[in-house]
C-alpha cells in the first residue's frame, strides 16, 4: 500500500499486522501492564506490612531534665536506642553494661547525636550476683536520685551455661539479676517518687511455666526455648508482685513485649535452628522491627503521664495488653518472689 499526501500532511498506511507504528502488540502491552500492577501491589503490601510490624510509636514529648534514668544492656539494640531518646529529653542517663569498651563507644555516639553530655557508663554483669550487689552499692553512693529503672538486658536461647552462682544463665540474667538490682535500688526509687520500673519481657511468656522444683534444668533435659519462656514469664510475674508490694509508695512497675527485633539477641537462635537463622538473614528481615521501633513501648511505659494506675500491667505496641493467663497467676508471682529472694540472699525490701 502506498502512502498519500493530503495538503501538508503525510498519511501513512496501516501496517500489514494491523497495529499502529510504534505501539506494542496487545499481548505485550497487557503483559507489561499486569507486571507493573503486580509490582505496584507488592510494593504497597510491603509498605503496609512494614508499618504494621513497626507497631505503635511513643509520641509523648515529656522532658526529663533533672531526672536520672538507669538502663541495663544499654550499649546495643533497643537499650541503646532507649538511652538515645531519653538523653534527647534531657535526662541523666546511666548505661549499665557488661562490655565497657562497647558501652563507651555507644555513650559517645549518644552524647554527640543528642548534645547531652550527661551520659555515663557503669559496669554491670547480671550473671553475677556479686557484680549486681557492687553496682547497686556504687550507684547508691554516687547518685542523688533514680527516677526510671529500665531492666532491658537479656539473653535469648543460649546453650545451658551455669553462672558463678550456680544459676542457669537465662534465668539468672533475664530475671534474678534484675530482681536483685531492683530490690537493692528500691530505697532510691522511693525517695525519688514518683518513679518507675520497666521490665522488658516478651510475648514468649505465653506458654511459659515456672518449674519451682527445677528452675535451672538440673533434673530434666535443658530446652533453650523452654528456659527462655520461663525467664520471660518470670519478668511478667515479678512486675505483678512488685506492683502489689509497692502500692502507695509512688513507685510504679510495668512490663512489656518490645516486638521481634533485629538485634544481637538473636545470635544464638541460628545455632539451635539453622533454617530459622537463614530465613532471618533474608526475607525474614522484613518481619522484624528495627531497634528504634522496638524501643517505643519501653519509652511509652517510661514517660507517658497517667500510667500510675496501670502499675503491674503488661504492654505491647504502646498500649496495654492482657498478659497470658500464666502471667496473671498471683500465687505463682508471690511464690516466685519468695524463691528469688532465697536464691539471691535477699531479705524482703518492700
Length of the chain: 350
218 lies in some domain:
yes
Instruction: Please name the residues in contact with 74: beta carbons below 8 A apart, sequence gap of 6 or more.
Output: 80, 82, 83, 93, 95, 96, 97, 103, 106, 121, 152, 153
Instruction: Please name the residues in contact with 147: beta carbons below 8 A apart, sequence gap of 6 or more.
Output: 64, 67, 68, 69, 91, 192, 195, 196
3 lies in some domain:
no
Q: How far is CA 281 from CA 76, 171, 264, 267, 274, in A?
A: 19, 28, 12, 11, 11
* Average pLDDT rounded to a whole number, residues 2-28: 52
32 lies in some domain:
no
% of the chain beyond a pLDDT of 90: 75
115 lies in some domain:
yes
Distance of CA 95 to the CA centre of its chain: 16
pLDDT band for position 6 (50/70/90)?
very low
For residue 347, the model assigns a pLDDT of 83
Asked if residue 149 lies in contact with residue 197, where contact means CB atoms within 8 angstroms, the answer is yes
Asked if the model's pLDDT at residue 51 lies above 50, the reply is: no
Distance in angstroms (rounded) separating the CA atoms of residues 154 and 170: 8
Q: Provide the domain limits for residue 70.
A: 64-344
* Average pLDDT rounded to a whole number, residues 275-304: 79
CATH code where residue 274 lies: 3.40.50.720
Name which of 102-116, 164-178, 263-277, 329-343 the model is least confident about. Answer: 263-277
Overall number of domains in the chain: 1
Which among 135, 139, 167, 228 is annotated as catalytic?
228
* Average pLDDT rounded to a whole number, residues 79-92: 98
1 lies in some domain:
no
Asked if the model's pLDDT at residue 306 lies above 60, the reply is: yes
For residue 123, the model assigns a pLDDT of 98
Asked if the model's pLDDT at residue 137 lies above 60, the reply is: yes
Whether 222 is a known active-site residue: answer no
pLDDT band for position 33 (50/70/90)?
confident
Q: Where is pLDDT greater, at 139 or 47?
A: 139
Residue appearing with cell numbers 504502646 = 318
197 lies in some domain:
yes
pTM: 0.82
Distance in angstroms (rounded) separating the CA atoms of residues 350 and 347: 9
Q: How far is CA 151 from CA 1, 96, 116, 173, in A?
A: 85, 10, 22, 10
Distance in angstroms (rounded) separating the CA atoms of residues 244 and 311: 8
Q: Tell me the three-class secondary structure of the chain, residue by residue.
A: CCCEEECCEEECCCCCCCCCCCCCCHHHHHHHHHHHHHHHHHHHHHHHHHHHHHCCCCCCCCCCCCCEEEEECCCCHHHHHHHHHHHHCCCEEEEEECCHHHHHHHHHHHHHHHCCCCEEEEECCCCCHHHHHHHHHHHHHHCCCCCEEEECCCCCCCCCCECCCCCEHHHHHHHHHHHHHHHHHHHHHHHCCCEEEEEECCHHHCCCCCCCCCCCCCCCCCCHHHHHHHHHHHHHHHHHHHHHHCCCCCEEEEEEECCCECCHHHHHHHHHCHHHHHHHHCHHHHHCECHHHHCHHHHHHHHCCCCHHHCCCEEECCEEECCCHHHHCHHHHHHHHHHHHHHHCCCCCC
Distance in angstroms (rounded) separating the CA atoms of residues 132 and 179: 10
40 lies in some domain:
no
For residue 13, list its beta bridge partners: none
Distance in angstroms (rounded) separating the CA atoms of residues 6 and 230: 88
Distance in angstroms (rounded) separating the CA atoms of residues 243 and 267: 33
Asked if the model's pLDDT at residue 262 lies above 70, the reply is: no
For residue 16, the model assigns a pLDDT of 47
Amino acid at each position: 500500500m502506498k502512502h498519500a499526501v493530503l495538503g501538508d500532511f503525510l498519511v501513512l498506511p496501516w501496517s500489514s499486522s494491523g497495529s499502529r507504528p510504534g505501539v506494542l502488540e496487545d499481548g505485550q502491552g497487557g503483559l507489561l501492564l499486569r507486571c507493573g500492577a503486580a509490582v505496584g501491589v507488592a510494593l504497597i503490601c510491603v509498605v503496609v506490612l512494614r508499618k504494621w510490624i513497626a507497631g505503635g510509636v511513643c509520641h509523648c514529648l515529656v522532658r526529663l531534665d533533672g531526672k536520672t534514668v538507669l538502663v541495663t544492656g544499654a550499649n546495643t539494640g533497643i537499650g541503646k536506642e532507649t538511652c538515645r531518646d531519653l538523653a534527647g529529653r534531657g535526662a541523666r542517663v546511666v548505661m549499665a553494661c557488661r562490655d565497657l569498651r562497647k558501652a563507651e563507644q555507644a555513650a559517645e555516639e549518644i552524647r554527640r547525636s543528642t548534645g547531652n553530655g550527661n551520659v555515663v557508663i557503669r559496669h554491670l554483669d547480671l550473671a553475677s550476683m556479686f557484680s549486681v550487689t557492687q553496682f547497686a552499692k556504687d550507684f547508691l553512693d554516687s547518685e542523688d536520685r533514680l527516677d526510671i529503672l529500665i531492666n532491658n538486658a537479656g539473653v535469648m536461647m543460649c546453650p545451658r551455661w551455669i553462672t558463678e552462682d550456680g544459676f542457669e544463665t537465662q534465668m539468672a540474667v533475664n530475671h534474678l539479676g534484675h530482681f536483685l538490682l531492683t530490690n537493692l535500688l528500691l530505697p532510691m526509687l522511693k525517695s525519688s517518687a514518683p518513679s518507675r520500673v520497666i521490665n522488658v519481657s516478651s510475648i514468649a511468656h505465653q506458654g511459659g511455666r515456672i518449674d519451682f522444683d527445677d528452675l535451672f534444668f538440673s533434673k530434666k533435659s535443658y530446652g533453650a526455648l523452654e528456659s527462655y519462656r520461663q525467664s520471660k514469664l518470670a519478668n511478667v510475674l515479678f512486675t505483678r508482685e512488685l506492683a502489689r508490694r509497692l502500692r502507695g509508695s509512688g513507685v510504679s512497675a510495668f512490663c512489656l513485649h518490645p516486638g521481634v527485633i533485629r538485634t544481637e539477641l538473636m545470635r544464638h537462635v541460628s545455632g539451635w535452628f539453622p533454617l530459622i537463622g537463614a530465613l532471618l538473614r533474608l526475607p525474614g528481615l522484613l518481619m522484624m522491627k528495627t531497634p528504634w521501633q522496638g524501643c517505643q513501648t519501653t519509652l511509652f511505659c517510661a514517660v507517658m503521664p497517667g500510667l500510675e494506675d496501670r502499675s503491674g500491667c503488661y504492654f505491647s505496641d504502646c498500649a496495654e495488653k492482657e498478659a497470658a493467663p500464666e502471667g496473671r497467676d498471683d500465687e505463682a508471682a508471690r511464690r516466685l518472689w519468695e524463691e528469688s529472694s532465697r536464691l539471691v540472699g535477699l531479705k524482703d525490701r518492700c
